[in-house]
Structure 1
Amino acid sequence: MKIWVDADACPAVIKNILFKAAQRTRIQLTLVANQPMHIPRLKWVTLLQVASGFDVADNEIVKRLEIGDLVITSDIPLAAQVLEKRGHALSPRGELYSLDSIRGSLHMREFKESLRACGVDTGGPPPLTAKNRNAFAGHLDKLLSKRSVT
């Protein structure tokens, strides 16, 4: 298992959780971004900088993804592609996507896009909470412990 991070929009607090987990478990963590960013100098952590452009980072993650890999993303279409390729997808807010839940998330995303196209302000996501961080860390720990058992 490898961990891939859709890093451009991933909150710093979530990245820090991931850095600690990668160091503790010695699992490869790759942040994929279309801009430079600072990462700790850890053997298990790398940055893959891709060209700017719509879905360039997402496409690179999907291209390199292997069965059982984990992708950290808040991008619903990317999460759907990850699940189709038999990977795991976890949002920085602690939602572990499944084939069942992703359908509803895709429909809600499309609905909100249609509202925005009509001029309705749907607002942005609420701030990341301690509950979100704890849910994220809990799902991450479960996925990593399953990896070490198998």
Structure 2
Amino acid sequence: MEQPIIYVDADACPVKAEVEKVAERLGLVVTFVSNGGLRPSRDPMIRHVVVPKTAADAADDWIVENAKANDIVITADIPLAARAVALGAYVLGPTGKPFTPETIGMAVAMRDLKQHLRETGESKGYNAGFTPADRSRFLGALDQMARKAIKATE
């Protein structure tokens, strides 16, 4: 089987450098998918895909069309996470929180509830800031997840 590929929903992703670091250590290809604005890498293991800005979910759609079981998807986008989990991909949020078949339903429900509360004015919708602890937790979680994905493809 082929080695897993790491797909990154790269627009506003705060952990691109950490993804590159883990991928380089483990010899994995990374594909950053965005609407533009990313500086291309000279590393042949780092790919950039720029999708048209015409569709709001163009990057998400591209990732879902290309990822497969045992690949890794990095995203904070809950609907994309749900779609990737359904493919059998490993999915990790930038704070190091994995999305799994067991947890994705609750994540979708919480997202929908928070959106409803924002729309009705009952919540201001503030998100917690991204912390150094989140970055550290992400690094450890991605390393562990990538090793598990590699083992699953052997």
Query: TM-score normalized by structure 1?
Result: 0.92
What secondary structure is seen at the aligned counterpart in 2 of 1:66?
coil
Deviation at 1:148, TM superposition (A): 4.3
Aligned to 2:42: 41
The answer to whether the 8 A contact 1:83-1:99 is kept is yes
Instruction: Quote the offset at 1:147 in angstroms.
Output: 4.0
Which residue number corresponds to residue 16 of structure 1? 17
After superposition, residues 32-71 of structure 1 pair within 5 angstroms as 32-52=33-53, 53-71=55-73
Contact 1:92-1:136 at 8 Å conserved across structures: yes
Matches within 5 A, 1:1-150: 1-11=4-14, 14-52=15-53, 53-149=55-151, 150=154
Q: Distance in 2 between matches of 1:112 and 1:148?
A: 35
Q: In the aligned structure 2, how far is the partner of 1:135 from the partner of 1:87?
A: 20
TM-score in terms of structure 2 length: 0.90
Answer whether contact 1:22 1:45 (CA < 8 A) is retained: no
Matching residue's letter, 1:82: A
Higher percent of residues as helix: 1
Q: Please say if residues 23 and 42 of structure 1, whose CA atoms lie closer than 8 Å, have aligned partners that are also in contact.
A: no
Percent sequence identity is 34
Aligned residues: 148
Q: State the SS of the aligned residue for 1:29.
A: strand
Uncovered stretches (5+) of structure 2, i.e. residues with no partner? none
Runs of 5+ unmatched residues, structure 1 = none
The answer to whether the 8 A contact 2:90-2:149 is kept is no
CA contact (8 A) 1:6 1:57 kept: yes
Instruction: Quickly say closer, same or farther: Cα 1:22–1:39, change in 2 above 3 A.
Output: farther
In 1, Cα distance between the equivalents of 2:131 and 2:106? 23
Q: 1:111 to 1:147 in 2, by over 3 A?
A: closer
Quote the Cα distance in structure 1 between the aligned partners of 2:112 and 2:124: 12
Higher relative contact order, chain-length normalized (CA < 8 Å, sep 6+) = 2
